[in-house]
Structure 1
Amino acid sequence: MTSTEFTELPDLAARALGGAVIAANDEFFAEKENLLNPGAPEFRPHTFGHKGQVYDGWETRRRREPGHDWAVVRLGAPGVVHGVNVDTAFFKGNYPEECSVEAAANPGYPSPDELADAEWVEILPRSPLKGDTANLFPVDSAQRFTHVRLNIHPDGGVARLRVHGDVVPDPRWFAGMPLDLAAMANGGAVTDCSNRFFSAPNNLLLPGNAHVMGEGWETARRRDDANDWVNVQLAGEGVVRQVVVDTTHFKGNAPGWFRLTGGTDPDRPQDWRELIGRTRLQPDTCHRFLVTESEPVTHARIDVYPDGGFARLRLFGELTPAGRERIGLNWFDRLPAANAVAVLTEDAELSVSAAEVVVSKRPLTDADGLRAALAAAAVSEQAAADVERIILG
């Protein structure tokens, strides 16, 4: 992945996904929470408070002793980090010289004190920063993390932190629940689109309702005979039962019609099946449609005619056994070793030694690979069944 390609991936730390800055060692001049503010940083010159110029970012005091400053971020969607954007916009004489980023995998809702004792892994070594610049750093990591820690050396201000990557959901939360196969939080992702002039297509897959038009996807105005579209990779192979196309807030620029197709070969969209034929849309309306096609799909494409934008896309349905298996194995393979051992010992009651044997056999590319690992660990039939239920569904 190049130095900029990762910016097209979801921001795992986004507030819209539930991300939050939960601790910082110093925020004397500007609050740590600003790091995750949506939208670009702003600057109003000669706007002074009691502590100096007001900045739209996180800024620490001038450090007079050895060390560095830091802020801890809980990812809204745990996943594999492929790159970070440490944006120093408007910080010119007060930006840090360098930064580094660490990551940790702590399930549940740990407190800042508990995270201080976490096992932190460096995913971005100490790297130079430029002022008033979006500093883009690719990250080479394959593990699933829940938190990141931004270190600035030695002090200064950062306007925004974006943590781009692939969402890796915990499939144990899928059991018995209605599932939006396209939702970003469940592992759905936009793979391509025709146009993103006004706003990004990833917004379509965010949780909750859009509050303004800018929180959806909107294209430029077309002046030809073609149409705009978005391709979505689903969380896993599944059968789509219901579709939501929400044009809320899009009043003079909603599409006139849409069409939904789906398939299992992303390289041959021409072979995909029609899930919903070309259908009229209304402005500022949350539309719901039933799908009668029952064949499983892994990818979907929504075509809008001729252009415009809408707020949210929901594809409700159920995973196939193969889809649930793939999600479970991907999750288990990407857990740090200590987390994977904990899953097996706490949820399936394996011995530590048996769990370590299973974990040592990763990556487990299919169900047979998991069963071979369980056989190598010599676990009982009941324990093996429990592990398969947890990981494979």
Structure 2
Amino acid sequence: MTQVTRFTGDAAPYREGNEPYADYRTADIPFGHLVDLADRRLGAGVIAANDEFFAERENLLNPEPAVFDPERFGHKGKIMDGWETRRRRGAGAGTPHPADDDHDWALIRLGAPGVIRGIVVDTAHFRGNYPRAVSVEATTAPLASSPEELLAADVEWTPLVPRTEVGGHAANAFPVDVERRFTHVRLNQHPDGGVARLRVHGKVAPDPEWLAALGTFDVVALENGGSVEDASDRFYSPPTNTILPGRSRKMDDGWETRRRRDQGNDWVRYRLTAQALIRAVEIDTGYLKGNAAGWAALYGRDETAGADEWHEILPRTRLQPDTVHRFLVDAPAATHVRIDIFPDGGISRLRLFGSLTGTGAKALAERTARLTTP
């Protein structure tokens, strides 16, 4: 295992008056643009942990960066924004140190099944109380599996990150090269300590049987296997927000670009679940009031037909601020969609309701079968 980032030793102790983020250690992470499969907004959850004495396991998956309040203490000690276990001890006075295989663990249900491309174990603000090493494993099981079912002896766990030393107050990143579809991960810290955030970056691999039963669904939604391939601008917020579940809750929960000073326009290109026929479009500008896009147009392209040209799905149409816009459309099959906004601004959500073609359903089923074969 080659870490993308390798930080060793403690971070400098926090000194009163110093900015607590000043010496936070991070680097460019090549897989960081991929969706976080462990995002709580997708339905992820930390379903069990063997110990959470100092700080709750649920903090691991908070989408916001960890924060630090130097004045915040509780009955058990310093309150940390992460998952923190008590200090492990040995068996007795003659062996006061924990055994080599002693460790703490947390079970995480991914928000959407997928292929994992990289993991970030973020120890932000854990300076002298982070784990010496971590390891990560993954398995495939029904999403509603109980902790007891996942911890059963017959469950096969695939190593993704071997036991590796990490650094404090740092984003410790690990690439993953396992071409399998997983639903759950287990984070281990050796022997104990605290982790602020866990990010599991990858590509969603939805259940084709479930989508077939639905028939008509949102063919660009992240949870259904849609994804953002590229965008003209990500200045204020990422375009992946536009295909998250639910409505946006605030202005930065959508996609917003910087102000243009030229005669161009901004755009996002999406890959659909598979080849699909789109019959209804929803463009939501919720919470974008003085900065919503003025107009929008939609185009489609069918990669399976070898087509390079884009066909029109929705002509350039006026948008209103903080409004849900709905359109019925009749367009040819597509594997990709591009939304153009004019001249700049943002949208909060894009929904493309339709159904997979026979070709698309077959391709999705074959892809899923390859990913579930050991």
TM category, shorter: 0.7 to 0.9
Letter aligned with residue 30 of structure 1? A
Structure 1 counterpart of 2:201, from 151, 164, 187: 164
Aligned to 1:154: 191
Deviation of the 1:270 alpha carbon: 6.3
Structure 1 counterpart of 2:48, from 13, 23, 26: 23
CA deviation vs aligned residue, 1:311-344 (integer Å, no higher than 9, x gap) = 111111111101000111111111144xxxxxxx
The residue matched to 2:112 in structure 1 has which SS? strand
1:281 partnered with 2:330:
no
1:135 partnered with 2:135:
no
1:144 partnered with 2:169:
no
CA deviation vs aligned residue, 1:348-386 (integer Å, no higher than 9, x gap) = xxxxxxxxxxxxxxxxxxxxxxxxxxxxxxxxxxxxxxx
2:35 and 2:201 in contact (8 A); partners too: yes
| Counterpart-to-counterpart distance in 2, 1:138 and 1:325 | 30
The residue matched to 1:6 in structure 2 has which SS? coil
Aligned to 2:337: 300
| Counterpart-to-counterpart distance in 1, 2:307 and 2:232 | 14
Structure 1 counterpart of 2:140, from 105, 128, 133: 105
The residue matched to 1:8 in structure 2 has which SS? coil
CA deviation vs aligned residue, 1:7-39 (integer Å, no higher than 9, x gap) = 111111111111000011110100000000111
1:230-249 paired onto structure 2 within 5 Å: 230-249=268-287
Runs of 4+ in 1 over 4 A off after TM superposition: none
| Counterpart-to-counterpart distance in 2, 1:303 and 1:245 | 12
Letter aligned with residue 281 of structure 2? V
Letter aligned with residue 301 of structure 1? R
CA RMSD of aligned residues (A): 1.8
Letter aligned with residue 189 of structure 2? I
Deviation of the 1:5 alpha carbon: 2.3
Give the TM-score normalised by structure 1. 0.83
Structure 1 counterpart of 2:218, from 180, 196, 205: 180
Structure 2 counterpart of 1:114, from 127, 146, 149: 149
Deviation of the 1:163 alpha carbon: 0.5
Q: Larger % of helix: which?
A: 1
The residue matched to 1:241 in structure 2 has which SS? strand
Deviation of the 1:310 alpha carbon: 1.5
1:87 partnered with 2:127:
no
1:244 and 1:288 in contact (8 A); partners too: yes
Please, which runs of 5 or more residues in structure 1 have no aligned partner?
338-393
1:207 partnered with 2:245:
yes
Aligned to 2:15: none
| Counterpart-to-counterpart distance in 1, 2:233 and 2:133 | 35
Deviation of the 1:129 alpha carbon: 1.1
Letter aligned with residue 144 of structure 1? R
Deviation of the 1:2 alpha carbon: 10
1:254-273 paired onto structure 2 within 5 Å: 254-265=292-303, 271-273=309-311
Structure 2 counterpart of 1:74, from 106, 109, 112: 109
Q: 1:2 to 1:166 in 2, by over 3 A?
A: farther
Letter aligned with residue 62 of structure 1? R
Structure 2 counterpart of 1:59, from 71, 79, 84: 84
CA deviation vs aligned residue, 1:238-273 (integer Å, no higher than 9, x gap) = 11111111001111110001111110249x996111
| Counterpart-to-counterpart distance in 1, 2:344 and 2:165 | 42
Structure 2 counterpart of 1:5, from 30, 55, 61: 30
Paired positions, count: 336
| Counterpart-to-counterpart distance in 1, 2:230 and 2:238 | 11
| Counterpart-to-counterpart distance in 1, 2:189 and 2:266 | 42
Aligned to 1:359: none
Aligned to 1:313: 350
1:261 and 1:274 in contact (8 A); partners too: yes
Letter aligned with residue 159 of structure 2? E
1:330 partnered with 2:367:
yes
The residue matched to 1:163 in structure 2 has which SS? strand
Deviation of the 1:109 alpha carbon: 1.5
The residue matched to 1:29 in structure 2 has which SS? coil
**Identity over aligned residues, as a percent?**
55
Letter aligned with residue 327 of structure 1? L
The residue matched to 1:42 in structure 2 has which SS? coil
1:105 and 1:336 in contact (8 A); partners too: no
CA deviation vs aligned residue, 1:164-189 (integer Å, no higher than 9, x gap) = 11111111112342211101111000
